[in-house]
Chain A
Amino acid sequence: MLVAVLGASLAGCSSTGGKRAEDERLARTAGGKAAVNTPRWTFAMVTHSGDGDTFWDIVQNGAQQAAAKDNIKFVYGHDEEASRQSQLVQSYIDQKVDGLIVSLAKPNAMKDVVAKAEKAGIPVITVNSGAEESKAFGALSHIGQDETVAGEAVGEELNKRGRKKALCVLHEQGNVGHEQRCDGAKKTFKGDLQKLYVEGTNMPDVQSSIESKLQADPSIDAVVTLGAPFAPTAVKAAEQAGSKAEIDTFDLNAQVATGLKDGSLGFAVDQQPYLQGYEAVDLLWLYKYNADMLGGGKPVLTGPQVITKKDAAALQDYTKRGTR
């Protein structure tokens, strides 16, 4: 059977796309050599990411790049459930790592364990979510995007584009950051903004829910998705529903960059996840090496950056290699 499969695959080669095209594109690669001779410290990152999350994958890529440069051993753990996330942090404290990077999506569950890290003399930097709590919990600094500010940027951009009625598509019910984004957009948007909850792990459900909403209310002229993978699905839904609504999104990936370029998407608001990983590792290194701290105690913002058609072409290659 194996022979048959291999034979079939050789006979059925595609002359377009695929791995071969990618290899040709990636003729040039960068090596990962350390640029400093500081001791090989170990930094651990623990996030609230679920399995296989595109966004956190880019954060990790950023962190690994900085770790390679700073001669850091980088370890990563994640759990979407808050209590298990804090157990993970505890296990890294037990291992006496030299620095910790944590996300505070559910701050209360993380409070004690961050304090324990402080007591054990491990510097902590918070990333992504938890800008309000970071300082109070004793972290050095926070690196991330203020979700409300990002939402406000969306509202303003929608105004600029003359939109009257927008739909905010939340792919995780009960996610605080998601609510903040939609609420932020609602605050600055002069038109009407409605929320729609969809089942994020079930793409056909996402599509049919957006489709039904657009059919129920044909006056909707903008759809904002909160994650890059949902934007192309929203485009399909609008096509199916015969709606002329413009599709906009938070976050970026290869499909979104292509969509922006060909005009099927209006704009994307990027919080530059690569920066969140990269800066967190780099700032911990700076702190250990030189007691430096960026931002003067204030959160360091990585977004929002509004990306439109004119930026898309330049970003396309970066999205393909998983750093934007």
Chain B
Amino acid sequence: MTTTLKAPAQDERLLHRSPARRLMGRPELGSIVGAAAVFVFFSLVAEPFLRASSLSTVLYASSTIGIMAVPVALLMIGGEFDLSAGVMVVSSALISSMFSYQMTANTWVGVGVSLLVTLAIGAFNGFLLTRTKLPSFIITLGTFFMLTGLNLGFTKLIDGTVSTKSIADMEGFDSARTLFASHLTIGGVDIQITILWWIVLVAVATWVLLRTRVGNWIFAVGGNADAARAVGVPVTKTKIGLYMGVAFAAWVSGQHLLFSYDAIQSGDGVGNEFLYIIAAAVGGCLMTGGFGSAIGAAVGAFIFGMASKGIVYAQWNPDWYKFFLGAMLLLATLLNAWVRKRAEAQA
């Protein structure tokens, strides 16, 4: 007993660390350095890149990925993947569009129904995962295919064609567009509303992760689910909650798609799930779970947005677009990993 009483005084977790040291230990540090490098690079090679209007475009591109990357990062910290996230966005848009149209209802009714159904899909993913104990890769791959088929099947069945009818002339459209797809001018710079959604989601997720008990649960289930359960963490609830978080963001993104483009193509969204995972991984979330941050995922999305649009601003030969994009992401991630290793060695 005496030894255990003495031990806390030497516990490394309780040692005072300088703010600089603490910063070095943050998961997003490396990605911020990577983002800075990509930013400086394109500022030098692409003349229009630094204009306010261009930065607003880059931020818009980043935000459409970033909104989804936030909950996907949380899910990855919790040790799981969601391959259905990309098509779920389109499902969510299709549901609100078709419900409003077929019922000739105010578009807000469709938006509400879509929220319920999308959350149910997320809960389904989480429930199936925790019940069957199968890897999330398999469960969400199944959902991915089912949603892809349902998107197409239902749209064709209900609308007769593969894209939805325009709902732009329906009641409630304008107010819903204001919330999901408008843009405002702040100090002469055009800001798409998705950028605000993105910032709010990052702030909420960061607060949850770092300041609440739920945040501890997420880190715990991602680190070691069995150990977490042994100390009383509600593993099942946490994981279902994380999947519902992804579903909520999919609903936000889906409504943005719908109110920005009026009509939705039922085959869209396939492949986007990887962009979200890439953003989270570039932002420092470990593929094995238990480590990462929402801010990191946001920076990851920003790196992706800068790289994909920067190549266009630089006016490089478009045949090499994908190669440049891949090389840029790889370099940013390598720099990220290198910085983190140095930081860990010093800390």
* Chain A interface residues (CB < 8 Å from chain B): 1, 5, 8-9, 12-22, 50-54, 57, 173, 194-197, 201-205, 207-209, 211-213, 215-217, 229, 232-233, 236, 240-242, 253-255, 258, 320, 322
Contacts and interface: CB of A to CB of B under 8 A. Distances in A.
B51 interface: yes
Given A202-B272, A208-B309, A54 B106 contact: no
B269 interface: yes
A53 B167 contact: no
Nearest to B172: A14
Given A14-B104, A52-B162, A57-B161, 6 more contacts: A52-B152, A52-B266, A57-B162, A212-B54, A212-B312, A320-B165
Interface string B147-191: 010011001100011110111111110000000000100000010
A208 B57 contact: yes
B183 to A, nearest CB: 8
Interface in B300-347: 305, 308-309, 312-315, 318, 321-322
A124 B55 CA distance: 53
A194 B168 CA distance: 33
B109 interface: yes
Contacts of B61: 204-205, 208-209, 212
Contacts of B60: 204, 207-208, 211
B48 interface: yes
Nearest to B263: A255
B216 interface: no
B112 interface: yes
B242 to A, nearest CB: 23
A215 B57 contact: yes
B46 A216 contact: yes
Given A208-B57, A217-B315, A13 B113 contact: no
Interface stretch (B72-80, B95-103, B243-251, B290-298): B95-103
Contacts of A173: 321-322
B162 A213 contact: no
Contact of A240 (B57, B267, B272, B275): B57
Contacts of A51: 148, 152, 266-267, 270
Closest 3 CB pairs of A and B: A52-B267, A18-B104, A12-B106
B265 interface: yes
Contacts of B315: 216-217
B257 interface: yes
Contacts of B322: 173
Contact of A215 (B108, B109, B313, B314): B313
Given A14-B172, A19-B102, A202-B272, A5 B266 contact: no
A204 B180 CA distance: 13
B285 interface: no
A50 B267 contact: yes
Contacts of A54: 161-163, 265
A320 B170 CA distance: 16
Given A212-B312, A215-B51, A201 B101 contact: no
A212 B190 CA distance: 14
A195 B318 contact: yes
A203 to B, nearest CB: 6
B333 to A, nearest CB: 20
Contacts of A20: 104
B272 A212 contact: no
Q: DSSP majority for the A interface?
A: helix
Given A1-B116, A241-B57, A16 B170 contact: yes
Nearest to B62: A208
17 contacts: A5-B109, A5-B112, A9-B99, A9-B109, A12-B105, A12-B108, A51-B266, A196-B312, A196-B318, A201-B271, A204-B60, A204-B257, A208-B60, A209-B308, A216-B48, A254-B166, A320-B165
Interface of B: 46, 48, 51, 53-54, 57-58, 60-61, 64, 99-109, 112-113, 116, 148, 151-152, 155-156, 160-163, 165-172, 183, 190, 194, 256-257, 260-263, 265-272, 275, 305, 308-309, 312-315, 318, 321-322
A242 to B, nearest CB: 7
Contacts of A195: 318
Contacts of B156: 57
Given A204-B60, A208-B309, A233-B261, A18 B105 contact: yes
A255 B262 contact: yes
A153 B95 CA distance: 39
A104 B157 CA distance: 28
A247 to B, nearest CB: 14
Contacts of A258: 166
A35 to B, nearest CB: 23
Contacts of B104: 13-14, 17-21
Contacts of A52: 151-152, 155, 162-163, 265-268
B79 to A, nearest CB: 27
Contacts of B112: 5, 8
A19 B97 CA distance: 11
Given A201-B268, A232-B261, A216 B313 contact: yes
A201 B270 contact: yes
A215 B51 CA distance: 9
A4 to B, nearest CB: 10
Contacts of A213: 312
A114 B95 CA distance: 41
Given A1-B116, A14-B105, A215-B51, A209 B161 contact: no
A120 B265 CA distance: 38
Contacts of B54: 212, 215-216
A8 B58 contact: no
Contacts of A240: 57, 183, 190
